[in-house]
Structures are given as structure tokens and as C-alpha cells.
Chains A and B, each alone.
Chain A
């Protein structure tokens, strides 16, 4: 009894459980989903989705409460605003992406019950990654996120492209983890056995092994660049995005990028601040090449998902400018606001693609021709999201980019901002190409019109009206956020401002 008492008191002194309460709620949700599915024996699977949504919402509520009263404590978790904001982003991503995936999973007759399970576990991995300040926790949560995403991308087993996508994702995450681990092991060695990031920086600050620490920085950069799909490490992105089922692509185009962003920023800010000249140059190079490559190749794509993959590569290039431009008075405000807006733009676009592919079954851009005649609501909302991605005022994408490039210019990154501006113009071309295709009537295939109508009736007979609106709810949410966030930029910027550490 004495042992247990001393153990519990030691446990309480090292971990404050109220700080990880959002994650605990997600874990409880995960277990509830597994048990409910077992008890119900596969019937009434929609209930599982409701459990997921409820637990995510409760987590978000608790996170809000914690954002207001910042609790800071030591060791594995730090609770500053930066980390909390990233947790909040990941919760939003999970919530909206599950909203838009319900119909898809029902229609394609894949196994229904494990889908929210994997989404919860991936969201959980992302959330723990955003808060981890410990090499082991970082690695374990990164693996958790990668494993769940791998299962998600291979979810439609009978589709061969899905198998290919999950194989490539597995290889990519293996390469990324091994590279990261090598960098971490070098850091561990040089800091004389310290695992926590704060202690590592104390120890290696005045060491004489500077060239080897640069090698460690290079490996860590390679590992995180894989996840972020920056330039030479972006090869997996188009194939994985094209092959995986669309709601899954929506999920990990935002979640894994947001989680990787928080990891990247934290590692490079905490451990290598005195190397900042070196890695600034390298990251600038990577960002410029990602922007150029992403935008140029996206021009020639014929599949919508592939085009969005390349466009997300270029968006991450823009966000890298925000990371480089961080300074004392503004923190990472530009990067965080742009990430927030990017989440909604991207999820909105994917919601509409999901709806469209449910109704017609194709992913080709050519088949979007004349959509205005068949479904004006879908067309209009897709127009909004695409214009926001391109950066047209008064939508929020414009404000996000404006803030980002302004900060970049002030920080002296003249080349990057110029390249970013030029490639933004190129990106407007391929977004507008789709909009023009949708809005103009074509004398093209009447059979797409026919299949459109047929699928629509098929879909609405399968799903009840309550669920049919969940995708549309996601669509509307994202459309609203895409347009109004630009007008409400000021409070967002105020919150994201003091995030420099």
C-alpha cells in the first residue's frame, strides 16, 4: 500500500492530467467506438460516427477552456499557446473531415466501423505531437499518426490504386521516421543523454561538435520535409492523394501537414536557433522549389485530386515563408493564420469533390464541364473555395497570403516573396480554368448529365435525409469560414501573435 501511495504521488507530481484531458477524451471515444461496434455486431454503424463527432466537440470545448487559462508544466508536455492552437487545428480538421466522409463510406460499402477509429487515432497522434517536448514522445506520436494514416489510405481494399497509395505512404513514413531517428540519436548523443528538448539545447549550445550537429539538423530536416512534402521529398504526394479515398485525402492533406508543421517549427526553433543562418537558407531553397514545382506541374493535371496534391505542395511552400519570417513581436502569426485559412479552403474543396464523385464517380477535371446547369449550389461553393485557394479578394485566402507575404518582405526574404507572388499568379490560372469549365455550357457528353441524375437518385435512396446533409454541412461550414475569416482577420491575428518561444 505504501508503494502504491508513493507511486501515485510521484505520478501526480510529474503529470498533470487535466492538461491532457482533450487527448484523454479522444482515447475514451476510441475505446467507446470499439466496444460499441462489438456490442452492436455491425448494425447501426452511424452511431459510431456520432460518438466520434461528440468526443471531438467535447475535446474542443475543453481545449477552449484551457486556452483561456494557460497551464504550463514541465517534462513531456508544454501548454503554451502555440501548442494549444495546433491541437485546436487538428481537432477542427478531424471534425470536418469526418463530417464529409460519412456518405462516401456508406456508398462505397467498405467496412464502416473502423473508419472513425482510424481517424480518431490519427487525430490523437497529431494532437500529442503538437505538444510533445521530448524526443521519445515526438517519435512515438509521429509513428502513431503515420500508422493510422497508412491504414486510412489503404482503406478501400478492392481498389488497386488505394493499395498502391498505402504502400507508397508506408515507404515514405518509414524513410521519414528513420531519417528523423538518426538525427535524434545524434542529438541524444551530443547532449550527453538528455531526451527533453530544453535540456538538449542547454547542453549542445556550447559544444564543439558544431559540424556534426549540422548533420543532425540535416537529417531532421529531411525527416520532417517528407511529411510536409517539400521539394525533393514530395514525390509520394500526388500518387498517394490520387489513390486514397477522397475523404481520407481530405483528412491527411490537412492533418499530417499541420502536425508536421508544428513539429518542424518546434524542433528548429528550440534546438537550432544558433544555426538559424544555415537552415534558413536551406528552407528558403526548399520553399522556393516547392512553390515553383507545385504550381507549374499542377497546370497540366487532368485529375482533380492530383492537381490538389500539387497545389498543396505549393501551399506548404508559402507557409515555409511564414516560418522563416517569425520575429519577436509577431511570433508565428502569419504562419498560423495562413494554416487556419488553408485548413478550411482545402477541406471545403475536398468536400465538394467528394460530393461530386459520389454523384458521378469520376475524378477527371473534364467531367466538371457545365456543372453550373446541373447543380448551382455545388458550383457556387466550389467557386468560392477555389478562388480562396488562389488568393482572390475578398475571400480569406487573399488576406492570409497578404499577411504572409508582407511579413516575409519585412523579414528580408525578398527572393522568396517574389517567387511566391509569381507562382500565385500561375496558380490562379489553374483554379480559374476549372471555374471556367464549370460555368460555361458545353455541348459535351450528354451521358455525364445522365449519369449525374442517375447517381443522385441512387444516393438519396440509400441514405436518410439526416445524413445526406452532413457533407453539405461540411461544405457550408468551410465556405463560410473561407469567406468570413478574411473579414475577421484581426482577432485571429491577435490570438496568434504571442507565439514566439
Chain B
């Protein structure tokens, strides 16, 4: 019970710290408790699968890419414009759509009734991957590459 009492407060405090921290590395570090606490609240409304996915996506993907963003350029500036609080309404809306808690039910619906959006989302991921590489690849002779084939 203590977990669910403390979680919203900690999420809010961490979110505020993300925005207000002077050091960008602090911002990224304090970003991590936010999805952790938010996904701690989700099993309360009965969404167990969604809580786990939330953890994987937000911490595993978004926090990691945020830390890459902080690492690469020469950030002496104090601001990263990352509004964490906007996750709450989005999470609420997505929570409204996923009313089923069981993974099997979710899979059943996703693969039959909603299979077209599912396939199109997979195509979106494919195109996004290829597009990101196309836009950023820099073929120079100084880069050492691995000769796989």
C-alpha cells in the first residue's frame, strides 16, 4: 500500500526536477523515476501487461535515447525542453483504449480485428528505421567499417 501512496508524489517531484535541473545529466537521471512510479500505479487499475510494457518502452528506450542525446553534443546549456507531464494525459488515453488486462485477449484482438493497423504500425517502424539511417548516414573514407559479406 505504501508503494501506491508514495508513487504519484515521487513521479511529480521527479518530473519537476527534470525540468528544473541545471545539469542536463541530472535531468536524464531524474527522468527515470517518473515512468517507474507511473507504471507502479497502473496495476491498481488492473492493467498488469500495460505496466510492464510501460517500463520497457519508457525506461528502456526513451531514457536510453535521452542519455545518448545528452552525451553527444557539447551541452553547456542548462535547459532540456522535455515536458514529462504531458505523458500523463497520453497515458490516460492509452489506458482507456487498453481495457483488457489479459495478454491473450489483447493478442486475439490485435491480430484479428485490428490487424490492419497492426501491420501498418510494423511498416511504420520499418520505414522509420530506414529513414533515420538515410538521413544521418555519412559515408566518409575515414570511417572504419566491418566487412561482413
**Chain A interfacial positions (CB closer than 8 Å to B):** 7, 10-11, 14-15, 20, 27, 30, 34, 41, 75-77, 111, 114, 117-118, 121, 124-125, 128, 132, 134, 136-137, 140-141, 143-144, 147-148, 150-151, 154-155, 157, 166, 181, 185, 188-189, 193
Contact partners of A30 in chain B: CB under 8 A: 123
Give the B interface residue count (CB, 8 A).
23
User: What total count of A-B pairs have CB within 8 Å?
Assistant: 79
Distance from B75 Cβ to chain A, minimum over Cβ atoms (Å): 20
- The one of A11, A111, A140 that contacts B117, using a Cβ cutoff of 8 Å: A140
Is A140 touching B127 in the complex (CB atoms < 8 A)?
Answer: no
Q: A151 to B135, Cβ gap below 8 A?
A: yes
Chain A residues with CB under 8 A of B113: 14, 75-76
Is B131 engaged at the interface, CB distance under 8 Å to the other chain? Answer: yes
Contacts of A147 on B, CB cut-off 8 Å? 124, 127-128, 131
Give residues 133-149 of B contacting A (CB, 8 Å): 134-135, 137, 149
- Fill in one digit per residue for B107-134: 1 if any A CB lies within 8 Å of its CB, else 0: 0000111111100110110011011001
Residues of A within 8 A of B123 (CB): 27, 30, 121, 124, 144
The residues of B with any CB-CB pair to A shorter than 8 Å are 93, 96-97, 99, 111-117, 120-121, 123-124, 127-128, 130-131, 134-135, 137, 149
User: Which of B117, B131, B149 is in CB contact (< 8 Å) with A118?
Assistant: B131
Contact B93 A11 (CB under 8 A): no
Partner of A76, one of B116, B127, B134: B116
Contact A136 B112, beta carbon cutoff 8 Å? no
Q: Which residues on B sit within 8 Å (CB–CB) of A144?
A: 120, 123-124, 127
Check B134 against A111 for contact (C-beta < 8 Å).
yes
Distance A7 CA – B112 CA, assembled complex (angstroms): 8
- Give A435 to B134 CA distance when docked, in angstroms: 39
Closest-CB distance, A164 to chain B (whole angstroms): 14
Say yes or no: A77-B116 contact (C-beta < 8 A), given A11-B111, A140-B121, A151-B135.
Answer: yes
Which residues of A lie under 8 Å from residue B97 when comparing CB positions? 188
Q: B127 to A151, Cβ gap below 8 A?
A: yes
A30 CA to B120 CA, complexed, in Å: 13
A299, chain B: closest CB distance, angstroms: 36
A41 to B147, CA, bound (A): 13
- What chain B residues lie within 8 Å of A7 (beta carbons)? 111-112
CB distance from B93 to the nearest CB of A (A): 5
Interface of B is mostly: helix
A119 to chain B, nearest CB (A): 11
Taking the closest CB of chain A, its distance from the CB of B107, in whole angstroms, is 10
Closest A residue to B137 by beta carbon equals A111
Report chain A residues within 8 Å CB of B128: 147
Asked if residues A157 and B135 are in contact (CB atoms below 8 Å), the reply is yes
- Please state if A117 and B117 are interface contacts (CB–CB under 8 Å): no
Closest Cβ of chain A: how far from B28's Cβ, in Å?
Answer: 23
Contacts of B135 in A (CB 8 A): 151, 154, 157, 166
Flag if A137 contacts B116 (CB, 8 Å).
Answer: yes
CB A151 to nearest CB in B, in angstroms, measures 4
Q: Which residues of A contact B112 (CB under 8 A)?
A: 7, 10-11, 14-15
Apart from the given pairs A14-B113, A15-B116, A148-B127, 13 other A-B contacts in the complex at a CB distance below 8 Å: A11-B112, A15-B112, A124-B123, A137-B116, A137-B117, A140-B121, A147-B127, A148-B131, A151-B135, A154-B135, A157-B135, A166-B135, A188-B96
The smallest beta-carbon distance between A160 and chain B, in angstroms, is 14
User: Would you give the shortest CB distance from A161 to chain B, in whole angstroms?
Assistant: 15
Cα-based distance from A185 to B104 in the complex (angstroms): 25
Residue from A7, A15, A34, A136 with most neighbouring chain B CB atoms (10 Å): A136
Tell me the bound Cα distance from A140 to B120 in angstroms.
Answer: 7
Instruction: Report Cα–Cα, A34/B137, bound state, in Å.
Output: 17
Complex Cα distance, B96 from A136, in Å, reads: 14
Chain A proximity of B101: nearest CB distance (Å): 16
Within the assembled complex, what's the spacing in Å between the Cα atoms of A10 and B109?
Answer: 10
* Complex alpha-carbon distance, A330 and B147, angstroms: 63
> How far does the alpha carbon of A8 sit from the alpha carbon of B38 in the complex, in Å?
37
Kindly state the separation between the CA atoms of A117 and B134 in the bound complex, as whole angstroms.
11
**Closest Cβ–Cβ distance, residue B124 to chain A (whole Å):** 5
A144-B123, A147-B124 known; A114 vs B115 contact (CB < 8 Å): no
Q: Least Cβ distance of B128 to chain A in Å?
A: 6
Contacts of B99 in A (CB 8 A): 193
Shortest Cβ gap from A252 to chain B (Å): 15
Question: Which of B114, B121, B134, B135: most chain A CB closer than 10 A?
Answer: B134
Which single residue of chain A is at the shortest CB-CB distance from B99? A193
Chain B residues within an 8 Å CB radius of A75 = 113
- Complex CA–CA separation, A76 to B115 (angstroms): 9
Please, which residues of chain B bring their CB within 8 A of the CB of A132?
116
When distances are taken between beta carbons in the complex, the residues of chain A under 8 Å from B96 are 185, 188-189
Which residues from chain A contact B115 at a C-beta distance below 8 Å? Answer: 11, 14-15
Subset of 22 A-B contacts with CB under 8 Å: A7-B112, A14-B112, A15-B115, A15-B116, A34-B130, A41-B149, A76-B117, A118-B127, A118-B131, A134-B114, A134-B116, A140-B117, A141-B120, A143-B124, A144-B124, A144-B127, A147-B127, A148-B131, A185-B93, A188-B96, A188-B97, A189-B96
Closest CB of chain B to A123's CB: distance in Å?
A: 12
Nearest CB of chain A from residue B146's CB, rounded to whole Å:
15
How far is the CB of B104 from the nearest CB of chain A, in Å? 10
Which A-chain residue is minimally distant from B128 (CB atoms)?
A: A147
